[in-house]
Amino acid sequence: MTNGQILLTIIIMSVCTIATRAVPFILLKTKPQAGDSNIGIAAYLGRSLPYASIGMLVVYCLKDTQFASAAGFAPQVLGVLATAAVYLLTNKSLAAIIGGTAVYMVCLRVF
């Protein structure tokens, strides 16, 4: 790439980054009024996006799982189950991540 192309790429990436960060403020810039539909949209996104992003992370982490043998899927499945169990028992995300990772790493050595 030439220096001009590199500069153009950086400018386009910068504009896109600034635009994606500014759009919510532009769309929701007015003071909330009773019955305003923007409040409903923001509340809905606030409730649903955390679960959607966790779901995408789980799918991404499990996308290459091989079901041909137990060694291909057991560590992943047991790690996910351990993460869910620790979180349900303690309601602490960090404990769930550490517990699930520990179970996964042990299962990698066993299977």
Of 12, 63, 26, 22, the closest CA to residue 80 belongs to 63
Residue 37: per-residue pLDDT: 60
Give the tens place of pLDDT for each residue, 65-90. Answer: 888 888 889 999 999 999 999 999 99
Is the pLDDT score of 100 beyond 80?
Answer: yes
Of 54, 59, 101, the closest CA to residue 78 belongs to 101
- pTM metric for this prediction: 0.58
Give the tens place of pLDDT for each residue, 29-53. Answer: 666 565 556 567 777 878 888 888 8
Residue 50: per-residue pLDDT: 86
Instruction: Delimit the domains of the chain by residue range.
Output: 1-30, 31-59, 64-111
